[in-house]
Every structure is written in structure tokens, then in C-alpha cells.
Amino acid sequence: MSSFSIEKPQLPTHSTDSQQVRIASQIIFWSSSVAEQMEPLMGVLSHLQVVEIGSSAATSYCARLFADFGADVQKVEPPSGDPLRRSSPLTHGGQSAWFAFLNFNKSSIIIDPAAPDASRRLTTLIKDCDIVVDGRDVDSADCPSIDIPAIRQLRPGLIYLEASWFGREGPYAGFAATDSTVRALAGLIKLVGPVEGPPSHAPDFQTGILAGLWGFVAAASSTLARIRGQAGRSWSLSIFESSLALSEYLMFEAFARRDVIRRSGINRFWPGFPVGIYETRKGRLGVTIVTPAQWRSFCEMLDLLELRDDLALVLGEDRLKHMGRFEQQFMPRLRARTAPEWFAEGLRRKIPMVPVPEMSDLLQDTEKKARGAIAPIVLGEEAGFAAGSMQQLTLTPPRRGGKVPALDEQQRFARTRKHQSSSASSADFIDAGRLPLDGIRVIDFSMGWAGPFCTRSLADLGADVIKIEAIQYPDWWRGVDRRSAYVDEYMYEKAMPFCIMNRNKRGITLDLKRPEGLGLAKRLLAGADMVVDNYSVDVLRKLGLGYDVLRELNPRLVMMSMSAFGAGSVHRDCRGYGTTFEQGSGLPSVIGNAGGPPTMTHVAFGDPVGGLNGCAAAMVALIHARKTGQGQFIDLALVDCMIPFASPWITVHSIGGSPAMRYGNRHPQFVPHGCFRCAGEDNWIVVAVTDTEMWQRLAVLLGRLDWLNDESLKSAEARRAIEDGIESGIATWTLTRDADDAMTELQAVKVAAGVVRLPVDLLTDRHLKSRAFLQDVERAFIGLHPQPSMPIREGATPYAIHSAAPTLGQHNTDIMAGLLGLSDTEMAQLEREGIIGTAMLSERDLAKAKKAPSK
């Protein structure tokens, strides 16, 4: 990795105008120097031209991911600009920090819809491109009319992606929506916040990132398929369904347990404990204790030996029942040291703990800047930082920062433009019925959520994913309980999270610590396109499967390591879970009420986010490998993948030095905006007013003619001055109504509103049912069970799920005999020696195996 030769000037906490001018000029100089040193001369996607139309965060982020790797992205805007240019929070110079994150390294082209040649100009632009990313269903942004089907008929190679809040069909299809109302409906708010309520949620910078990643995966997989002779594809993307990647775990745990999970309090989450953020002598500390061994080490570290030795507290779910009492015991002890001191102690004891940074801490993190996770950007006359690219490909790295385009500004980069002939017909393409990743083989060493979610997505898109476990140490999401009763009852085959994350894969067992197992793994890797692991750094290397070895074995192999902080990090040995990545991202420091503690927003938020980023990185590397025959190493730091959710605050703080304002359930731009109690026990609805017309419709619905007739209240800032009174009026109205009835009434007059659902409610959601989002799959040990679809689809129905998650070692014979050519005798010998098998070893059997002499 390159290192900087110019030191970035430190930003003061508060600064004068003259200081800001001086700092801005220094940052601009520093930014250009960084670009010279670290930007690749030619991006791996520089052969692609992308046209972005309409306005949505999802499509903007999707297109920016293409720009990160060199694509020429032409952003079509009206004369007034993309409405997102006016999104809060704003910098001192009035620039939108959110727009900046979504759009640097693009070009802007104005097409005035009032001009007589507007449609012709846009048609010509699209006819000459490879990919169209369309956000018009979210906000048309005065985009001229365009006949996409007609253009695709002329250009069968054209890839088209359209995004909408809820999809074109279904009960919610016409709903007015915002990020927060969608997250409410997606089950991502109700379990967060104080027990008595209201549920808490972050401002609107989540669904666009999640949906943008999904959109990129769809369009990039089509690009890969087109290289291999397939036609372009037309995708529809549901922003609502994209968010369900975060809800899946709790949704299907509730299905399996026939139980309803309740809100536990701020920074408390079912089913683990302790999982949260705690105060230390200096700074806050994120703690995630999952396994029995981690609980024992945590108790020993704090000298709580009585808790350590209590056999009734082995599992997190049992500890959660007594969380208040336990917190009283360990929280005072955590105040004895600083967060960095506890972090060092956690590394030594292999406990997942991490300091919770403020924005200023992130901006002083030289490692994140060196990796490009925090990158320099220029916004007009201002310069600062934003979240960069998380997809750290070592051979074909992304751009490190860039410039946000002014209206109608073209940015020039090195290109390898090679247009596909526009005269190509459907007959010129082969295998039209194949899935995008058909013919790609992936060897999957990952466990838990992030890695398996990445490889599941590859499998859903047609890749042949071979999951490798060991009977000694199978995927820990089968369960960490190794007691005989758990193993003998095959409970490890009934773990719903494992089944959800590993469908459409084939599964084998191999003991990689034995030469025979290692040799078979190498034979599989020699014929593979990609290998994925999310072990701690160096695990595969120590087993003899490091990238230096695999590169010699298979030069076209793409290897992705998905570790907590990255293989090149000074914190490379830190262990972490999805909660750890959220804790370490900076996001909790800007969530919650002013004066309150840093607040986490989801259970294991970082796992699915990391998995999606991994899938996006895989697409880029596979495109490069198909074009050149060269594989490469991907060093994905899962904590970095969470930084985009804090990007607007990073930018504002880097330019002005002012601390981020925490809005609670309010919003920096929309007034009113909040979570309101409805009739019944713990029933809530999120209501958001996004413009003057919506405010007036709300006033009429609530019978508040005083609000309607007050001309001054057309301004959001004027309404902010009486926000308490407005919220009280809304709460009076919602409290007498069933939550679904309230949503129906509000949506009938086009006021953005969403019922605050529990994840389990999604199993019976009428909109998801109408779109066949949940598919029933049969599997041994658990029978018929629902599986979620991808939020991207080519037609009216989602891609079919063709196989359930494998039982342990289910495909040993298919792969080792069928693919590797082993005989029945060789297979039997491997099974006798415990190198392969189909049954998990209990603690007792594992101890016996360790004592047995090696052969």
C-alpha cells in the first residue's frame, strides 16, 4: 500500500473564516497530491459509460460505485439541479454533504425538459452508453420522457436498472416514502431505543446505501455476464426489500422460535449480552460478547469470577434475562480504564471490544485515510473528506477521493472506451436463459453472517458456491453450544440463521489441519474463480492457504479476506462481529438524543453491510479476471464498510470543525418528522413531511386549519420553531388510531408514513406476500420454511431459490467423488480418519479426537 508524503493539516475544533480559507486551500493541494500518488492510471471499469437519470440516493450511490472504479458516469440533471443537491446537512458554503458523498467523480449534464430537443438528446446519450441507472420512480427530477424498451430493443447489450421505494406492484407501490418510513416498515426501528418508547432511528442515510449496493451488484453481474456473451439485463430494484437484508436474522429467528422479540433498551439487543456501548474513564467502549469463551474471558478481565463460573450464564440469551443486574456489576469496573486501554486488553484476551470514535477521531485516523475508507473530496470552493470506497482491490484499486461535479460540469479521466456495436441483435448473444454468474465457481470458507451473506448473493445470481466446514469446527452459526444434548439432537441442523444464509450452496467438510484435507482444498481451489473467507487474519495463511500460495496454484483466482479491520491494519488481530463494526464506524456518535450516549441502531448491522460490500468487490474483481486472466487479493475491512452511513457528518465536520448535531427522531431537513404512539400496546408510526404541499395535506387531514392558514408555516424552519406543538398535535391524532389505519389515512393524502413493524411482522406483510418475496423451501430437519428473495429482479417475480442450505457434509460425495474423482475406498478412509464427515463433534468427542494419536 502506498503511503502519503504530504501530511494533511489538522482541523481545529472551531476556526475563523480566514483559518477556513487557509485550511481549504491546503486540503485542495493535499487532495490533488493524494490523487497523483494513489489513483490508478486506468480504472478497471473505465471501458463503461453509465448514464444516471432521475433522483434517488440508491441510484446515485449505485452509479458512484461504478465511478469509483473508473466508469464514465454522466449524471443527467435539470437546470435547477438534482434535488439531492439541497439535502441537509449542509456545509458552511451551503453544499450538501449527502449529495457530495453520492456523486464525486461523476460528470453532470443539464438537459432542460422544456427544450424541444430534450428527449432526443437524452435518447442519444443513452444509446451510446452501457448502463442506465434510473431513479425517476423515486423522484423524476424533471427528467425528459424516454422510451427505454425501444432503446433496449435496438441495443440488446444495454444494461438497465430502475429503482423504486416499493417496486412497481403491490399494496405499498404508490406510497409516499422517506428513508425512515421505509426502515420503520422494514422492521429496523421498533427494537431500538428505550423500553417505554418511542423507538429510535437514525436520520435518512441508510436505505440509499443498502439499495445502491444491491443495484451495483445487479448491474455489475450483468456486465460480467455480457463479457461472457450474454445480453444486457433489465433490473428492477426495491429499496424497501433492499433494507430487509438487515431484518432477515431476527425475522427468521422469530419464525423458528415462535416468539416475539421485544425492545430491550438503548444499546441492548436480543439475543446476546453484553452487546452495547459503555462508558470508560475516557471515551466509550463497544462490547460484543457472543461465545462462552468470550464471556469467561470478559468476566476474568473484570475479576467477576462468580459470574464466570455460573453454568446458567453460558449463553447470551440467558445472560440477557439479568442484564440490569450484570450491568451494575461490570459498568463501574469499565470506568477504571480508558477505552484504548480496554481495547488493548481485549486484543490480548481475544474479546471483541472496540473504542467508539467521534467524528474528530475518524478524521485523525491515518490508517483509514491510507486505505481510502475516508477520502479527500472537493465541493466547489470547499474541500474536506467523505467516505471513500470500501472495496479494497489490491491489483485494481478504486479512486481515492475526487471532485463533486458542479452543474453541467464534465470531468475527464483516462478511458479504455470500447463500445459494443449498437447493431447487435438478440441472436448475437448466447445462452439467454443463464443466470448472470452461471459458470463461476466460488470456494466459501466463511462462517456466520457477513461472509456467508456475500457468497449466498453470488449463489443466488448463479455461481456454484462450495461451502467448506469441518466436523470439528463447523460454521458457528449452526450454534456455539457443543454440549452433547445439543449435538445429539441435531440442533446444529435446525439453526434458522444458518439455513437462511447458506441456501443455493453445496456443502462439504474438510479438516484443513490435516495434510489430506488441505490437499483436497487446494485441488478445489485450482479450478475455482474465487475464494472467500471471514476468519481472523492469517488463519488461512497459517493453514497453508495464503494468497501467495494460491496465486501460484491458480493465477486467475480472486481471493477475498473479510476481516474486522483488514489484513494490513495495525488492529488486524482484533476480533469482531457486525455490532463491533457499527460500534467502530463513528455512526453511533451521531445517533440518539442530544446529551445521550452514542446509540447503536441495529443488531449486527455491520454483517449484512459487509456482505454486500464484499459482493460488490467480488463483481469488480471477477470482471477484471474475465477480461485479463488475472486474479487478485481483496482486503475487505468490515469496520470500514460501515463508515458511509456517517459520511455526511464526516464531511461537515472536516470542513467546519463543528460537532455533529444529534436529532433524535427529528430530521435536519423535514419538519415534522418523528415516531408517534398509536392505539394499543407499543404500537407506533413514523410520519415525515418532506415539502410544503405535504405539510398542507397533513394539516387538512388533522383538521388543523390554523396550521393550514398560517403562511409562515410553509417554511420548514418556521415549523421547526414550533416543532413541539406540531408533534403534540400529531400524537393526539395517532393515539386514537390503529397504526395500520393511521398509515392508510396518511398515505391516502400522500403524507409519508410507515408503521413501525417488528421483524416477525414481515412474515405476514401483505406487500411482500403480493410480490412473492418470501419463498417456501423444504429442508431436512426443519421441513418447509420461508426464505427471503433478493430485492433485485428481472421480471415480475424474483429469482427462484433452487436448493436449501446444505446439511453438514451433504455434498461430500458429489464434489469429492464427482468433481475430484475420489474412489469409494478413498472416501471411506477419509471419513474413518475424521477428515470428512456428516456429523458435528460434541465437546466430549472433540476432546477424544484431540487425544487420539495422529496417523
pLDDT at 30 over 60: no
For residue range 262-288, list pLDDT tens digits in order: 899 999 988 889 999 999 999 999 999
pLDDT for 573: 83
pLDDT for 845: 87
Whether 529 contacts 541, CB under 8 Å: no
pLDDT band at 427 (very low <50, low <70, confident <90, very high): low
pLDDT at 543 over 50: yes
pLDDT for 741: 98
pLDDT band at 21 (very low <50, low <70, confident <90, very high): very low
Residue from 271, 272, 274, 276 nearest 254 by CA: 271
Burial of 594 per CB tally in 10 Å (0-12, 13-18, 19+):
exposed
70 conformational bin, left if phi > 0, alpha if psi -120 to 50, beta if neither: left
Which ranges of 446-546 would DSSP assign to H, the alpha helix? 450-460, 484-488, 496-501, 515-526, 539-543
For residue range 706-740, list pLDDT tens digits in order: 999 999 999 999 999 999 999 999 999 999 999 99
Average pLDDT over residues 329-343: 96
Q: What is the DSSP string of 238-303?
A: EHHHHHGGGTHHHHHHHHHHT-------TT--TT-SSEEEEE-SSSEEEEE--SHHHHHHHHHHTT
Distance between terminal CA atoms of the chain? 43
Residue 118 neighbours by CB under 8 Å, 6+ apart: 111, 112, 144
Question: What is the rounded (10 degree) CA torsion for 307, 308, 310, 314?
Answer: 110
Whether 296 contacts 304, CB under 8 Å: no
In whole angstroms, what is the distance from residue 359 CA to residue 723 CA?
28
| Residue with more model confidence, 656 or 471 | 471
Whether 146 contacts 119, CB under 8 Å: yes
Question: What is the rounded (10 degree) CA torsion for 113, 117, 121, 124?
Answer: 140
In whole angstroms, what is the distance from residue 480 CA to residue 318 CA?
14
| Entry pTM | 0.94
C-alpha grid cell for residue 583? 460500534
| Residues forming a β-bridge with 132 | 51, 160
Q: What is the CA radius of gyration of the chain?
A: 26
For residue range 50-77, list pLDDT tens digits in order: 999 999 999 999 999 999 999 999 999 9
In whole angstroms, what is the distance from residue 340 CA to residue 322 CA?
28
In whole angstroms, what is the distance from residue 807 CA to residue 764 CA?
28
pLDDT at 191 over 50: yes
pLDDT for 40: 43
Q: In what order do the strands lie in the sheet with 49-54?
A: 107-110, 72-77, 49-54, 131-135, 159-164, 234-238, 792-793
pLDDT for 426: 53
Which ranges of 372-482 would DSSP assign to H, the alpha helix? 450-460
Of 19-23, 227-231, 370-374, 558-562, the poorest mean pLDDT is in 19-23
Residue from 41, 34, 171, 202 nearest 771 by CA: 171
Q: State whether residue 751 is helix, strand or coil.
A: coil
In whole angstroms, what is the distance from residue 200 CA to residue 154 CA?
49
Whether 247 contacts 187, CB under 8 Å: yes
Q: What is the DSSP string of 776-845?
A: EEEETTTEEEEEEPPSEESSSSPPPP--PPPPTTTTHIIIIIIIT---HHHHHHHHHTTSS-SSPPPHHH
